[in-house]
Structure 1
Amino acid sequence: MLKRLPTTKELYAFLVTGQKLSFTHAAELLNLSQGAVSRQVISLEKYLGVELFYRHARGLHLTPAGMKFLPQVEQALGQLGNAIESLSTENGKLRIKAPTCILPWLLPRLISFRSTHPEIEVELTSTAGHGVNFSTENFQAAIVYGQQQDPQLSYRELFEEILTPMCIPALPGVERLVESPTYLQDLTWLHASESQRDWKLWLEHAGLGDLQAGQNQHFDTLDMATNAAQRGFGITIGDVTLSAEELASGRLIAPFEARVTSGFHYFLVYPNQMVVDPRLVKFGDWLVM
C-alpha cells in the first residue's frame, strides 16, 4: 500500500512560508488566515517528524531540514503543475500575468493577436506588482520588469526601459524649461517609488545631479505617477515606450531630449520546459514583432 503523502495545501503553505519567512505574508499570498497556514505547516512537520522552522519572537528561520526540503518541494510542485498543464487541451486558455503599467503597450497588441489568432484565447490578469511565482500561481507566462536573474525561467525581451521627464503641455512653469532645465526645481516631481531612483538616474545623466525639487509626490507604481502627470499634478519620469501613445497624441510632452536607459527591461517569462506550448511561442513572437 502506498504511504499517504502530505497534501498539496500543506506543501504550498510550507513553500510560501519558507520563501517569505512570515506566516502573515504567506497567508496574504495564499488567501488564507495566518492560523490556517500555521496549522498546515505544523501538520506537515508532524508528518515528517522534523521541525522545518525556528520560531522566534522576531520572526521565522528555516532549520537545516527546512533549507534542504524547500527547493525539493518547489521543484516537485513545479513538476506537478507542468504535468497538469500538459494534459490541458489545445483549446484551453493561455493564462498570462502582467503589471498594470504595461497595459497601454500590451492591450493593443493583445487585441491584434486575438484578431489574427482567434483560436488562441488569452486570459490576462493584471496586478500592481511585477513578480510571479509559477510554483504557487496558476499562470503559463508573465510579463515582468527587471533583469534576467532566474535560471529556472526562459526570458524573451520585449523592450528596454528608457526614461525621460514628462508632463502635460499646460503644466504651469513648464514653458520656462526652454530657458534652463534648472527651472525644474520650481515644479512638483512625481515619483514611482520612495527611492526616487528614476529621477536620480536621469538627473545624473543630464548633468543635473545637484538639482532638488521644490515639492515631491510619491506613488506606488510607474503608471500611477504617469496618470498623475496627465492630470497636471506635476512632472514625472516616464518610460518612452510605455508612454508612446500619450507622447504621440500630445497629451504628454517630453521637454528634454536627454534619455537614459535604466538597465532594466520588460520580459515575457515562463518556466523552462523541454517542450514549450506552441501557443505561447506564437504569442511571444507577436509581442516582439
Structure 2
Amino acid sequence: MQPRKHPDLPSLNGLRTFEAAARHLSFTLTAQELCVTQGAVSRQIKQLEDQLKVILFHRRHKQLMLTDQGILLSSPLTRAFNIIAEGVDRLKNQQQDFSLKVHPTFAIRWLIPRLHHFQALHPEIQVRLTTSGENVDFSHENFDAGITHEGNDIPGITREKILTEQLIPVCSPKFLATVSPLEKPEDITGRMLLHNTPDLKEWAIFADQAKIKNLAMERGQVFEVDDAALQAATSGLGIALGDLFLIRDELETGRLVAPFGLIPIKTGNYYFSRPDFNQKPGNVTIFQDWLITTLNQTDPQKKTV
C-alpha cells in the first residue's frame, strides 16, 4: 500500500496544542499539561487558525467552546496522537524485551521450568525464547544472546562456558528388564541405540572413549535433538546418551536408569553467547548473571565455570 501524500500540514506543535485545548476547553489547563505559559497556548492556537483560515474556538467570558470546524479537527487529532502514544509505548516495551535463542534440550529440561523465577525477579524484562538445534548466527539473526552447544569462537562474539556436557548411557527400567544384562559398556553391542543427532557422532565418541570396537551405529533410531531421544528412551525404545545435569530428575525418579553407572563421557560444552555490539547490555548482563547463579545453585557438582 502506497503511503498517502499529504499537503503541507500545520505545525505539529500547533496541532498538539489545539488537541490538548480541545480536550480541556481551557487554555490554563492546556498550558499546565504542556508546561508552557497560557500566552504561548493562545499564540499557538491563533497561528493555527490563521494557517487553516478557520476559527477553532468560540472565546467567551471564562468559557471556551469548540466551533464546528474545531470539532471536525479535534477528533482525528485525538485518534492520531493516541496512535502515536501507543507506538511509543510499544517501542519502550520492546526495548525491555530480551530475545534469546537456546538449544532445545537445555531449554526444555532446565531453562523453561525455571524461567518464571527470572520473570518474577525482573518483570520489566520480557524474555522472548526461541529454541533451535542450530546455534545463533548474530550476523543474520536478531537475537540479544544465545545458549549454544559447542560452536567456534567468532570475532565480535563473547562466549562464556556455562556447563560441561557429560553424557552417560541411559534407558528405561522396562527396556533393561527385556534384554540380557547390561553390565559393561561392551554389552550395548547389538542393542537399539537412540541417536540424538543425524551424524551419530556422540555414540561414536562414546564407543571410542569406552574402547568399544565395531559398534553398529546403523542399528538405531535417529532423532534431531537430545530431548526426543531421551523421551524415546523413557518410553522403552532403546538406549540413549543423556547429560547428567539435564536428566537428574529422570534418574532420581527412576524413569531412567544408568546401567553402567554415572561415569560420563565428555563431548562438549554449553556456552552463553552475546554479540559485542549488543545495544542492551543491561538486560543481557542481568539475565546472564541470573543464569550462572541459578546453574551453580542447581548443580551440586559445580559443573559450571
TM-score by length of structure 1 reads: 0.62
Once residues 154 and 100 of structure 1 are traced to their aligned partners in structure 2, the CA distance between those partners, rounded to angstroms, is 21
Once residues 134 and 266 of structure 2 are traced to their aligned partners in structure 1, the CA distance between those partners, rounded to angstroms, is 19
Once residues 107 and 166 of structure 1 are traced to their aligned partners in structure 2, the CA distance between those partners, rounded to angstroms, is 23
Once residues 90 and 218 of structure 1 are traced to their aligned partners in structure 2, the CA distance between those partners, rounded to angstroms, is 39
Which residue of 227, 231, 235 maps to 2:231?
Answer: 227
Q: Secondary structure at the match of 1:238?
A: strand
Residue in 1 that maps onto 2:115? 110
Once residues 152 and 290 of structure 2 are traced to their aligned partners in structure 1, the CA distance between those partners, rounded to angstroms, is 21
1:268/1:213 CA distance change after superposition, 3 Å: closer
* Offset at residue 89 of structure 1 (A): 6.1
Q: Secondary structure at the match of 1:97?
A: strand
Once residues 213 and 139 of structure 1 are traced to their aligned partners in structure 2, the CA distance between those partners, rounded to angstroms, is 36
Which residue of 157, 162, 173 maps to 1:158?
Answer: 162
Moved more, 269-278 or 158-167: 269-278
TM-score by length of structure 2 reads: 0.59
- Please say which structure displays the higher CA radius of gyration: 2
Number of aligned residue pairs: 200
Q: Secondary structure at the match of 2:216?
A: coil
Residue in 1 that maps onto 2:102? 98
Please tell me whether residue 182 in structure 1 is matched to residue 186 in structure 2. Answer: yes
Residue in 2 that maps onto 1:249? 253
Residue in 2 that maps onto 1:126? 131
Q: Secondary structure at the match of 1:177?
A: coil
Q: Secondary structure at the match of 2:232?
A: helix
* Offset at residue 230 of structure 1 (A): 1.4
Once residues 102 and 281 of structure 1 are traced to their aligned partners in structure 2, the CA distance between those partners, rounded to angstroms, is 19
Task: Spell out, residue by residue over 1:175-224, the C-alpha distance to the aligned partner (whole angstroms, 9 max, x if none).
Answer: 6013x443322420111223321112112222223343693111122222
* Offset at residue 138 of structure 1 (A): 2.0
Residue in 1 that maps onto 2:203? 199
Residue in 2 that maps onto 1:149? 153
Tell me if the contact between 2:194 and 2:239 (Cα under 8 Å) persists in the aligned partners: yes
* Offset at residue 274 of structure 1 (A): 8.0
Residue in 1 that maps onto 2:297? none
Among all aligned residue pairs of Structure 1 and Structure 2, give the percentage whose two residues are the same amino acid: 32
Residue in 2 that maps onto 1:267? 271
Q: Secondary structure at the match of 1:176?
A: coil
Once residues 174 and 275 of structure 1 are traced to their aligned partners in structure 2, the CA distance between those partners, rounded to angstroms, is 56
Tell me if the contact between 2:101 and 2:146 (Cα under 8 Å) persists in the aligned partners: yes
Once residues 186 and 272 of structure 2 are traced to their aligned partners in structure 1, the CA distance between those partners, rounded to angstroms, is 39
Once residues 238 and 193 of structure 2 are traced to their aligned partners in structure 1, the CA distance between those partners, rounded to angstroms, is 6
Please tell me whether residue 287 in structure 1 is matched to residue 291 in structure 2. Answer: yes
Tell me if the contact between 2:200 and 2:217 (Cα under 8 Å) persists in the aligned partners: no
Once residues 238 and 289 of structure 2 are traced to their aligned partners in structure 1, the CA distance between those partners, rounded to angstroms, is 37
1:173/1:142 CA distance change after superposition, 3 Å: same
Tell me if the contact between 1:200 and 1:209 (Cα under 8 Å) persists in the aligned partners: no
Q: Secondary structure at the match of 1:227?
A: helix
Task: Spell out, residue by residue over 1:49-103, the C-alpha distance to the aligned partner (whole angstroms, 9 max, x if none).
Answer: xxxxxxxxxxxxxxxxxxxxxxxxxxxxxxxxxxxxxx96686211111122212
Q: In the alignment, residue 177 of structure 1 is paired with which amino acid?
A: L
* Offset at residue 123 of structure 1 (A): 1.2
Q: Which 5+ residue runs of structure 1 have no aligned equivalent?
A: 1-86
Q: Secondary structure at the match of 1:155?
A: strand
Q: In the alignment, residue 110 of structure 1 is paired with which amino acid?
A: L
Please tell me whether residue 239 in structure 1 is matched to residue 223 in structure 2. Answer: no
